[in-house]
Each structure stands twice: as C-alpha cells, then as structure tokens.
C-alpha cells in the first residue's frame, strides 16, 4: 500500500507553542518555540523531523502529545480533534513517547517491571496481577529483554538497555502512534543501529506510526518515509526522504545535507560544503519575515518584509522560500 492510499492518522494545523519569558520589571516576552507548523502523518508512516539544536523539534513532539498545552492551532487524531481533557486522556492511550535521555527518563526507585507496568496501572488495562505480569513479560520480549531483568533497577543497565526499557513502556498501552524524541542520540553508534532496526521491526509487527525526531541525518534517512526540516520554530521543507536528499530546495536544507559525511572519499572530496555565516538568531528575538534570512546568501528585501508561505512546489514537496524557483532554476 502506498502512502497516498492511506488515511492521515495525525493532522496538525497551524500549531503554535509560545513560552512567556521574564525580561525584568514584571515584563514578559513570548519565546516562539513552535510557530505556525502544519503537517500530517499517515497510518504506518514514519515522519522524520530534523534541524539544529533549539529549532523546536522536541517542543513539536511534546506539544503533539499535550505534554505542553498548545498556544494555538489544532491537533487531530484519526480525524477527531484532541482538545478537551477527556479527549486527551483517550488520545494518550493511542499516542505515547520515547524520550531522548535513557538515564533521566526512568525512575531510579522503580523496578523494570513497575516502570513498564505503570501505563497499565494508570489506564487500568489489566484486570489481575497475573495478566499484568504476562503483559510486562510480553513487552520485554518485544524489545529484547529477559524475564530475569524484571526485578532489577534502571541503574543496573547500560544506556542501550535503558532505552529498550523506555521503548517497552511506550508500547504498554498498545499505541498506534509514538513520538520518538532523539531516541538514539545518547547511545553508542553500534547500539544505535540495533535500536533503529528494532524500531523498524516493531513498526512492521505492530503497525506503528512514528514521528522520529533526530539530529543524525543518516539515521533519519534510514528510518523515515518523509522528512521535515525545521528552523527557528518554523517548518521550512517537507518531502519524501529520497526527494529531500537528492533534491533539497530550501537553502537551509541544502546546507544541512551538504554537511552529511559521505563514506566514499572521492565523492566526499567532490562534495561542496555549504557553510552558513553568522549565528543562529534567538527565538526570543526572531528576524522579521523569513527566519532564515539573516544567514541566507539569497536573501532580499522581500525576505525581511514577509514570511514565506509553506507551499507545495511539486507533488508532496513543500517549501517555505520566496525565491525557491530562482535558486533552483
């Protein structure tokens, strides 16, 4: 089945997440962590979300699950809005999260069994202790943990094993959708490959849908069907994974992809690195118009005056750039 044949599982319209920052003398100023972001995720699809540190990737994931209350915009799950407390409670039975840090995301005072079983207890999904125990052992087997690990504590495990515990916990409520917030960035490279392959296997086995947030563009390419690029709280490009790697259209995406290491030395030498000048602006004092204009060699007066529309330039390929046609002519 192609992506075009599927129904959207997650739909996000004009999502905004602003944090009021104290600037002194009882004054506050909004920090626009996520500003007017829209996208959909199809059933069974993996949408990769990339961008440099501080661009708002994690905030998108957390706001999507209502861990942060959205400042504005709408979130739809399977065609239904997620707004009221009862809607959010039902939504959290179908949408969960794997956190970035496997060291701080697990309670050191709880056994592995209790960590994985906590969502079962919260949502009252097991009618007996025996059913709960069997479900926990089943979840542990999904992620490659032995039954003897159930009575141990998190500090007794390596980083890769701890992340497996976190993944098992996210699967406890039998979700359809999982936000993966840089789940391999804190792990050794050899362990990263194992965890990425496990995500692939779980998706195939359980029919999962992912929002996969990451820094590593090679990891994102391996696991994603489509990739979205964020910069300073805004989405600047969205396209199928192969399309965005072979034909990036936004100047920021082009720079980002030129930095990806290539294992072939001949190709690597021929590859032209597109270096950006200047520092990343603060989201507290974001530039007017296009957020990328202060570091873009193609910027004109129009870029400072108006925010570019996030529009479809070819089938399934969206870009937010005033000069996209001229740059890529």
What pLDDT score does 282 carry?
A: 84
pTM of the complete model? 0.91
Q: Which two tokens stand for residue 141?
A: 């087997």
Q: How far apart are CA 147 and CA 138, in angstroms?
A: 9
* 302 has a pLDDT exceeding 80: yes
Question: For the segment 103-161, what is each residue's pLDDT rounded down to a tens digit?
Answer: 899 999 999 999 999 999 999 999 999 999 999 999 999 999 999 999 999 999 998 99
**Nearest to 96, CA basis, from 202, 203, 15, 172:** 172
Look over the chain and give the mean of its residue pLDDT values, rounded to a whole number. Answer: 90
What residue ranges define each of the domains in the chain, with the CATH number in brackets?
Answer: 3-94+176-327 (3.40.50.300), 106-174 (no CATH)
CA angle 78, 46, 273 (to 5 degrees): 140
Question: For the segment 177-188, what is each residue's pLDDT rounded down to a tens digit?
Answer: 999 999 988 888
Q: How far apart are CA 167 and CA 142, in angstroms?
A: 9
């Amino acid at each position: 089945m192609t992506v075009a044949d599927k129904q959207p599982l997650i739909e996000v319209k004009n999502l905004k997440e602003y944090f009021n920052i104290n600037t002194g003398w009882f004054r506050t100023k909004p920090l626009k962590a996520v500003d007017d972001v829209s996208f959909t995720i199809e059933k069974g699809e993996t949408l990769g979300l990339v961008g440099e540190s501080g661009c708002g990737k994690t905030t998108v994931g957390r706001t999507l699950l209502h861990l942060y209350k959205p400042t504005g915009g709408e979130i739809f799950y399977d065609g239904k809005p997620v707004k009221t407390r009862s809607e959010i409670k039902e939504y959290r039975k179908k949408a969960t999260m794997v956190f970035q840090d496997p060291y701080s995301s697990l309670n050191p005072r709880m056994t592995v069994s209790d960590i994985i079983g906590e969502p079962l207890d919260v949502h009252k999904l097991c009618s007996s202790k025996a059913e709960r125990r069997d479900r926990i052992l089943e979840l542990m087997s999904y992620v490659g943990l032995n039954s003897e690990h159930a009575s141990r504590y998190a500090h007794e495990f390596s980083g890769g094993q701890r992340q497996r515990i976190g993944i098992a916990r996210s699967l406890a409520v039998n979700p359809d959708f999982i936000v993966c917030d840089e789940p391999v960035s804190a792990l050794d490279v050899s362990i990263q490959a194992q965890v990425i392959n496990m995500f692939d296997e779980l998706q195939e086995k359980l029919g999962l849908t992912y929002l996969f947030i990451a820094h590593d563009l090679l990891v994102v390419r391996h696991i994603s069907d489509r990739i979205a690029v964020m910069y300073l709280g805004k989405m600047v490009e969205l396209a199928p994974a192969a399309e965005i790697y072979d034909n990036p259209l936004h100047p920021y995406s082009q720079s980002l992809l030129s930095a990806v290491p290539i294992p072939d030395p001949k190709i690597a030498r021929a590859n032209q690195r597109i270096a950006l000048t200047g520092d990343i602006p603060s989201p507290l004092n974001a530039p007017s118009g296009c957020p990328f204009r202060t570091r873009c060699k193609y910027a004109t007066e129009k870029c400072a005056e108006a925010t570019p529309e996030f529009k479809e330039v070819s089938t399934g390929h969206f870009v937010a750039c005033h000069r996209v046609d001229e740059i890529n002519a």
